[in-house]
Each structure stands twice: as structure tokens, then as C-alpha cells.
Amino acid sequence: MLALVITAGYHRLFSPRGREVPGQHESDLAIQSDPDLIDALKRLRGFLMHPLILYGVPFSQPVRAVMWLLLLKKMPFDLVLTNPGSKGDNGSRHPSFLAKNPMGTIPCLEARETGFTLGEAHAIMTYLARAHGWEDLYPSEPQSRARIDAYLHYHHRNIREASVGLVAPSIRKDLNIPEAVQQAAHKTLSAALKVFDQSLLSQQPYLCGGAVTLADLAAYVEIGQLQPQYTNVFDFSPYPFVQRWLTTMQQVDGHDVVHVVLAELGDISQAAPEMDQIRGANIKALQALKLKLSQL
Ligand SMILES: N[C@@H](CCC(=O)N[C@@H](CS)C(=O)NCC(=O)O)C(=O)O
């Protein structure tokens, strides 16, 4: 019976674009009308074979955004540790990695079954949401989707500056980020948070309305890392609505395991952590992730 169900559901679940191929089998029609069975099949697929590989390290903000999405949607994956910027064997600038993501950055997603690879966190997140029909986080209604896309574009030269100005100078000392760049990034981030506070989060609980979307996940991994319980490098007191949003986002499934790396690393406001501490935090985070994935 199990074999029959798997075979019948195969085309729906394993089709190249991970999408439904309707009408191929009579029993497929029965499966399509039973959401519980579809859900059970998806879980079974994940149990038998993790179809997705995510390259990166838990400390990377955009990697965390993708991990959070996958955990939230209970989609199994393997995290392959990949050092950002390194030309070494496991580095994001090694030729074998560049063949998967020519941009040389993490995260990078790979679909085992098809060999499809994709870089850029927001492209990965929107691709996954489209491919799997995650309407709750990325509605297909054009205007709702456009609002989320607008945030995802805005993010890069605004909220992303949190890492450039406040975190990377301590964590990626090799980048030698000039003081002037750090100050400019701080100013840009503060202006963006003012917009969040006064124009978005004072009107609605989440960035794009009444429910969590991809925009919130993408934004939180940047802003959330600055909180007192993590790196403690930013004063949120001028932004009460942002503070409320940060607290609400902590309730979203998957938050805690994705942020183990920051809890482990702790406060970096007084002294930059040693390389061993960063490595240790990434390893602890990987262990926590593996445990969580084994429970999906
Ligand atoms: N826009 C990219 C940014 C990715 C990114 O900056 N990744 C960093 C790690 S957090 C990286 O791989 N840096 C290595 C390098 O640039 O060589 C995304 O959102 O995925």
C-alpha cells in the first residue's frame, strides 16, 4: 500500500520543478483531493531523502533567513558548511562552489534531484515559496506579493547595513571595513528603522500587514541579531514598534534554533570575539539544527 501511495504521488512530489503534475494517474487525483495524505507524503519524502542542500554557515544572516523559512515550513534539508569568502575546499570562492553560485556568496541552494542551484537568499526564498505554494508567507495575489518584493529589494542597501556597520567589523576583521563606512551604514540603518517604526509597524503588526511574510524573516535576521540578548550593538529605545515586532517575531516557529549561533556568541559590544568562538558558535548551531531537523 505504501509503495502504491509513493508511486502515485511521485510525479506530484518529485516533478522537476517540485510542482504538481496533474492528471497523470487515476490515483493521483485521489491524492490531490486529500491534503492530509499530501502532507504525509511530503514528510515521508523528507524522511527518505533530504532533497535540498543549503550551503552556508549559521552565522550568515541571509543563510539564517533561508534556514528559518525551511524550518518554518518543515522542509528537510542538509546544511553543508561553507566558509564565506574562502578559496579553500569548503569556501564560497572555491571553483567547485563558484560552479554552483558564480556570485561566490552564501547561501546557495541545491536541489539534489535535478542539480538546480541558486544563490541570493531572497531569490531562494521566493523560489521555494512559489515552487511549494507557500501562500501564507508569499501570497500570489499580485499586490500583496508586490509589497513583499518591494521590501526584499529595499532590504539590500538599507536594513542589510546592520551587518556592514555593526556586526561585520567585529566578526569579519579581515574585511577591514573603514570607520566612515561603518558610520554611514549605522546612519542608513537608523533611517530605515525610523521608517519601519513610524510608517509600517505603528500601523500593522508585521512589515507587510497582519501576518508574517518572507519580508519579516529577511528583515529580522539582520535587525534581530543586534538585540541585547545577542550581539548587543544597537540601542532600540527610539523604536518602540520595532521592539514590539522583534518580540513578536521571536514566537515564530524556528526562531530559536536559527538563533542558537547568536545566543552562543553573545555580546560583542565590548570586545570582538576570537575566531575560535565564532567557529564554536557555528558548530553548536549546527548541532542544534541537526537535532531540530531530526524531529521534523
Ligand atoms: N545578497 C546576498 C548576500 C550574501 C552575502 O553577503 N553572503 C556573505 C556571507 S553573510 C558571503 O557569502 N560573503 C562572502 C564573499 O562575499 O566572498 C544574499 O542575500 O544572499
Nearest residue (CA) to ligand 1, atom 1: 120
Give the domain extent around 23: 1-47
Residue 38 lies in a domain: yes
Count of domains for the chain = 2
Q: What is the CATH number of the domain that holds 184?
A: 1.20.1050.10
Residue 289 lies in a domain: no
* Ligand 1 center to 215 CA (angstroms): 18
Report the predicted TM-score, pTM, of the whole model to 2 decimal places. 0.85
- Cα–Cα distance measured from residue 11 to residue 19, given in angstroms and rounded to the nearest whole number: 8
Residue 74 lies in a domain: no
Residue 100 lies in a domain: no
* Ligand 1 center to 9 CA (angstroms): 37
Task: Return the pLDDT at 32.
Answer: 61
Residue 204 lies in a domain: yes
- On whether both 146 and 264 belong to a single domain, the answer is yes
SS3 167: helix
Residue 129 lies in a domain: no
Task: Return the pLDDT at 37.
Answer: 86
* Ligand 1 center to 183 CA (angstroms): 21
- Pocket of ligand 1 contains residue 282 by CB under 6 Å: no
- On whether both 146 and 36 belong to a single domain, the answer is no
- Please report the atom of ligand 1 found closest to the CA of residue 105: 12
Dmax of the chain from CA atoms? 66
Express each pLDDT in 14-31 by its tens digit.
443 444 444 444 444 455
- Please report the atom of ligand 1 found closest to the CA of residue 93: 17
SS3 85: coil
Task: Return the pLDDT at 45.
Answer: 61
* Ligand 1 center to 153 CA (angstroms): 15
* Ligand 1 center to 105 CA (angstroms): 4
* Ligand 1 center to 92 CA (angstroms): 9
- Pocket of ligand 1 contains residue 84 by CB under 6 Å: yes
* DSSP3 helix / strand / coil % (the chain, rounded to 5): 55, 5, 35
Give, as one character, the DSSP assignment of residue 101. -
- Pocket of ligand 1 contains residue 213 by CB under 6 Å: no
Residues of the chain with pLDDT under 50: 1-29
- On whether both 34 and 160 belong to a single domain, the answer is no
Angle subtended at Cα 174 by Cα 170 and Cα 177, rounded to the nearest 5 degrees:
65
User: Measuring CA to CA, which residue among 81, 120, 261 is closest to residue 128?
Assistant: 120
Residue 57 lies in a domain: no
Ligand 1 test: best mutation among 87, 105, 177, 261, most atoms within 8 Å of CB?
Answer: 105
Task: Return the pLDDT at 85.
Answer: 95
- Pocket of ligand 1 contains residue 121 by CB under 6 Å: yes
* Ligand 1 center to 35 CA (angstroms): 37
Residue 153 lies in a domain: yes
Ligand 1 test: best mutation among 100, 106, 164, most atoms within 8 Å of CB?
Answer: 106
Nearest residue (CA) to ligand 1, atom 6: 105
* Ligand 1 center to 143 CA (angstroms): 29
User: DSSP letter string over 17-73?
Assistant: TS---TTSSHHHHHHHT-HHHHHHHHHHHHHH---EEEEE-TTSHHHHHHHHHHHHT
Nearest residue (CA) to ligand 1, atom 20: 120
Q: How many CA atoms lie within 13 A of 4 on its CB side?
A: 5
Task: Return the pLDDT at 48.
Answer: 61
Q: In this structure, are strands 52-56 and 108-111 parallel, antiparallel, or unpaired?
A: antiparallel
Q: How many CA atoms lie within 13 A of 209 on its CB side?
A: 13
Task: Return the pLDDT at 7.
Answer: 39
